[in-house]
A = this chain, B = another copy of it.
Amino acid sequence: MVGYAFMGAAHSQAWRTVNRVYDLPVRARTALICGRDPGQVATAADRLGWAGYTTDWRDLVTRDDIDVVDVCTPGDSHAEIAIAALEAGKHVLCEKPLANTVDEARAMVAAADRARAAGIRSMCGYNYRRVPAVTMMRQLVAAGRIGTVRHVRAVYLQDWIVDPQFPLVWRLQKDRAGSGALGDIGAHIIDLTQFVTGQRIAGVSALTETFVKERPLPAGSSGLAATVDGDSPEGRATGPVTVDDAALFIARLDGGAVASYEASRFATGRKNALRVEVNGSLGSLAFDLERLNELEFYDGTAAGTEQGFTRILMTEPDHPYLSAWWPPGHLIGYEHSFTHQMRDFLEAIATETDPTPSFADALQVQLVLDAVQRSAGAGSSWTDVEPSLAPVAA
């Protein structure tokens, strides 16, 4: 694994847990973790349970006893690492968004295509597909339970940088992160809604906003938290925020639905509010990541006086991924989506099938992000999403 911060910790927990919960034909070993700071990566290896550590990601690619490379770095290094790993015959799991630019993403898809011919698997880490409620939304839509999808509305709302003194971490710098709320959290709702509906975003009209344009330089950061230097705001060195704080767009999907999307880091009080609602001709589905064990399903074919949104507690053994966890009513958390992801990735490797979302699926999300940025840059003018050849993953 490359990277040991927030995503690194979450992925480590999943790698350590996946074979303890699921019966799988292969077992994961947490062999080698890579980070740039030797002291910090050594500490992380010890804490997170990795057998070894390195400061050079190429070690992961060259070691013969390593079969899988998990890329958890900022987006600007995804392409280089992932392509090298694929070319070295390693299966690759790459965090989302796939890359910071469409060009990089295309190169990664090409590398994945070449590797696939040699039986090498690749997958992008849109982990929320594996939240059981989201997986079940997909199943219900695919089974026709809500009929023809007419409306999608999706928001992903956080508030972690409302304080104008929060420092200028890498996620607020375009060269590292590619974009702001858009690529970080907007990408999730793009992928998730396309996954759930089986429809793709065809065109968008967008706006983005940066509410706080200058921030103090960071002294240190960990996960999403960070600190600044200086005793008072006045004395702090500052730098420009080069990404969006919020991105909003309306869209048309290729199956006829209309949609609304919003990603923001300035929605005070909303901590991780990924909320998706889908309305179809026969029913509706609603989900909120802050209540991730629940799914709301409106069945418009039920008896008229008994219709309503049913709050399904997603903890039954027949719910997706749940058979291996706890008895009904015992909740799972955020990290479990990664365990489910590792389960499916390992199973795909063992059974020599291609996991989803593929790099090509992730490229398509990248094309939507690109259309959003182009529309926002052109006065919200309608912008078609550039076609890619990959089908929406089933």
Residues of A in contact with B (beta carbons under 8 Å apart) = 6, 10, 12-13, 16-17, 19-21, 23, 47-49, 136, 146, 150-151, 153, 155, 157-160, 162, 205-207, 209, 211, 223-225, 246, 248-250, 252, 256, 258-260, 262, 264, 266-273, 277, 279-284, 289-293, 297-300, 304-313, 315-319, 326-336, 379-382
Contacts and interface: CB of A to CB of B under 8 A. Distances in A.
User: How many identical subunits does the complex contain?
Assistant: 4
Contact of A305 (B6, B136, B160, B305): B136
Given A205-B205, A260-B262, A334-B330, A269 B298 contact: yes
A284 B258 contact: no
A49 to B, nearest CB: 6
Contacts of A313: 271, 290, 308
Most buried by B among A155, A248, A283, A310: A310
Given A258-B207, A332-B333, A311 B312 contact: no
Contact of A264 (B10, B151, B206, B211): B151
**What 8 A-B pairs are tightest by C-beta distance, nearest first?**
A272-B329, A271-B329, A269-B298, A333-B333, A308-B312, A205-B380, A330-B334, A224-B327
Contact of A250 (B12, B49, B159, B205): B205
* Dominant secondary structure of chain A at its interface with chain B: mixed
A195 B6 CA distance: 34
A326 B334 contact: yes
Contact of A310 (B248, B291, B308): B308
